[in-house]
Amino acid sequence: MREEARSDKIDISRKTVCLIGCGGLGCNVSVHLAGAGVGKIFLCDFDRVEESNLNRQFLYTLSDIGKSKCETLKERLSAYAPQSNLITVERRICCESDLGFALGCDLVILAVDNNETRAVVNGFCLKNRIPVIDGGISGFYGRMYFCIPEKTPCLFCAGMVSGIGKTVSVSSTAGIIGSLEASAAIRYLSSGDESMSGKIYVYDSDRFDVLCVRPLTECEFCKKFSQ
């Protein structure tokens, strides 16, 4: 039995993840991915550290204000998990051509606060059949969804693309949703576990709900890439 259990394991050090967003959610997700031993992680963000970020983006300090988020995050993670190959992409994602670096990745993780980027990444991942995990937070509310193209409804069907935008973020909520994203990712990357996919995990102040997502008949994303 022990030999069978070992044979089911996947070498996570051979996996590549693209993390888009190095803010509150991104800080939480990246620490868990690097700590779990993910071999290569792309860190993508166009933004720079601001003082208002520090309450929830715990890997940055006052001395980092004005610095590139993805470069600073790479520096912190390199000290924590030197075995991970960390590659920075200082870029705003506006169209699918901006995501060329993510081709061949085993998983894309969204940790952003705008729906335009979610829509672009949703289409890119469906087209290239790359699983994608998305999280969004607002105050003490947050949600997470894991899409596997051709197996589950997409981010649009789950209400993520038209969902949470730029709002006030709370550090504890970022920690909860970021940890959920990382948990789904690590389970999938290390053993092929897809049990968290196709369900939206909703955190609302003092409760959790898990809802199964059905594909929308009017979803142009799913229609286009299921043919």
pLDDT of residue 167: 64
- C-beta atoms surrounding 61 within 10 Å: 13
Return the structure tokens found at 45: 């963000």
pLDDT of residue 220: 78
- Distance separating alpha carbons of residues 72 and 154, to the nearest angstrom: 32
pLDDT of residue 165: 57
Say if residues 23 and 48 touch (Cβ distance below 8 Å).
no
* DSSP at 95: S
Q: Tell me how far CA of residue 94 lies from CA of 98, 99, 121, 148, 201, in angstroms.
A: 7, 9, 9, 22, 27
Maximum CA pair distance of the chain?
54
Residue 39 backbone phi and psi in degrees, to 5:
-70, -40
pLDDT of residue 48: 97
pLDDT of residue 3: 36
- Distance separating alpha carbons of residues 187 and 203, to the nearest angstrom: 20
Specify burial of residue 70 (Cβ count, 10 A radius: 0-12, 13-18, 19+).
Answer: buried
Give DSSP secondary structure letters for 64-79: GTTSBHHHHHHHHHHH
Low-confidence spans in the chain with pLDDT less than 70: 1-8, 163-167, 225-227
